[in-house]
Amino acid sequence: MTAPQHDLSNPNDVHGRLVAAVTAKDSHTVRACLQDGADPNTSGPDGLPLLCTAVGGFDHETAGALTDSGADSDVVLPDGTTPLLRAVDLGSPALVGATLGKDPRLRIAETERKRLLDLARHWYETGETEELRRRTGAPGPPSRRLVHDDEHTDIEEVSLGGLTVRAGHSGVLTDLERAFGVLPPVAELVARAVPYPHELHANWSTVSYALAFRKSPQAWSDLAALRHHPSPVHRRLLAGVLSSRHSLAYHHDRPDTAQDVDFLAAWALDEPDGEVLAGVLNVYTDHDHPDQEAIGLRYADHPDPRVRREVPYCLNQPPRSEPAVTTLLALARDPESEVRYVVAQALAHPRQLTPAAREILLTLLRDPDPDVRRRAAESLSGSHDRTAAVTEALAALSDEEDQSLRLEAAYGLAVRDDPRTDAAYEQVGPLGPGYEHDHRVSAHWHYMVRNRPRC
């Protein structure tokens, strides 16, 4: 291919600007150029489509911008590959997802779908190290580093003999199978995930997401059996799958999770591992269930702070019983600051504070941990409580060294139309970037409008 000539320095040459932006991995400018009419199939300096440049640079954001705008990810290149095949070869689930395009099951011919699946499976079964050794002839060992695959997941990047790939081919295979309507056994998917036991790992998260779509009775039976698996990693994966299922149901307005919630309630009663139990409770408390308070009280003194951190959410269904209030007060004095933080967060709702909730938050407002104090201040300032005790406690924060506490104090006074509001905002001092649309800043303007002198 002969590369077209573009004037990269000419601001009127939108295609030249697109080439420069893709080369610089500037996805924001790439999108702007595409909106201005640049051709997403523009060739780069090497004569190949710019989508190949983005793919080769592991730039999933730019690849996604080009593909969304019509870049052809299936175009056959001089070496017989396609941009999508190259993305699969590089082992980045984020990159493949960005390059896959619309309706891949309908758009891509069966023979090409098989080629993509076979390539991903070959890498997965052979392993990145062995395949790199085969391709480069280098004896190894390879260098490895952990990188962000996208804003939500991490992956290892593996380099040997001048070649670099990402160790996400099992995730790529899983994503391609889901896109192409291939349904491997649940056990096979589980086996792909458990070597990467971290929810931020791309291979783990792709399996968790794929299994969340499996709704057949057999798939549910296979998944439910993981609850009694001797390995905590397998049980933790099941908790992650249920979390993904609930997220999908929420975003697609499908409240079909009653079976899952009952299942989680029963599981919470006998899960022996603290980390797994915390994951189970984290999903369980996203939904109302009649056993929540009893389960929360059961684990209020659990030795694992990750479990105790979930207890306040179990006790957050109003009206709170006397045992629930007593337990929350005890957790407000927990030795772990993360537990105390969650108490302060949980008490933000309902906004009409009970006397007991008010006292707990006032106690946490004096916590030695600054994060706990900030969270307690947020819950108090945003509440509908207009008692003198709360107003005076907020006013006292105006002298704090922490600017965020001073801002929370000013906001709390403003929404209460307290005459000390103007002085409190003066004490906040200059705010840096990022506060332009902060509700606490705009509350001062609303306060002044409400309280300006009337003619």
Chain centroid to CA 171: how far?
A: 17
Local structure of residue 435 (DSSP, 8 states): -
Per-residue pLDDT of the chain (455 residues; tens, 9 = 90+): 445 555 545 556 899 999 999 999 999 999 999 999 999 999 999 999 999 999 999 999 999 999 999 999 999 999 999 999 999 999 999 999 999 999 999 999 999 999 999 999 999 999 999 999 999 999 979 999 999 999 999 999 999 999 999 999 999 999 999 999 999 999 999 999 999 999 999 999 999 999 999 989 999 999 999 999 999 999 999 999 999 998 887 766 555 567 899 999 999 999 999 999 999 999 999 988 999 999 999 999 999 999 999 999 999 888 899 999 999 999 999 999 999 999 999 999 889 999 999 999 999 999 999 999 999 999 999 999 999 999 999 999 999 999 999 999 999 999 999 999 999 999 999 998 989 899 999 999 999 999 988 75
Alpha-carbon distance 393 to 271, whole Å? 42
- CB 410 within 8 Å of CB 425: yes
SS3 content of the chain, % helix, strand, coil (to 5): 60, 5, 35
DSSP secondary structure of 234-263? HHHHHHHHHHHHHHHHHHTT----HHHHHH
Full-model pTM: 0.88
The tokens describing 304, both together, are 């694992």
- CB 443 within 8 Å of CB 408: no
pLDDT at 252: 64
The tokens describing 386, both together, are 């207009």
pLDDT at 10: 54
Instruction: Give residue 224's identity as a one-letter amino acid code.
Output: A
Alpha-carbon distance 74 to 80, whole Å? 11
Alpha-carbon distance 96 to 203, whole Å? 13
pLDDT at 57: 97
The tokens describing 191, both together, are 């086996």
The tokens describing 380, both together, are 């108090």
Burial of 217 (0-12, 13-18, 19+ CB in 10 A): exposed
pLDDT at 2: 46
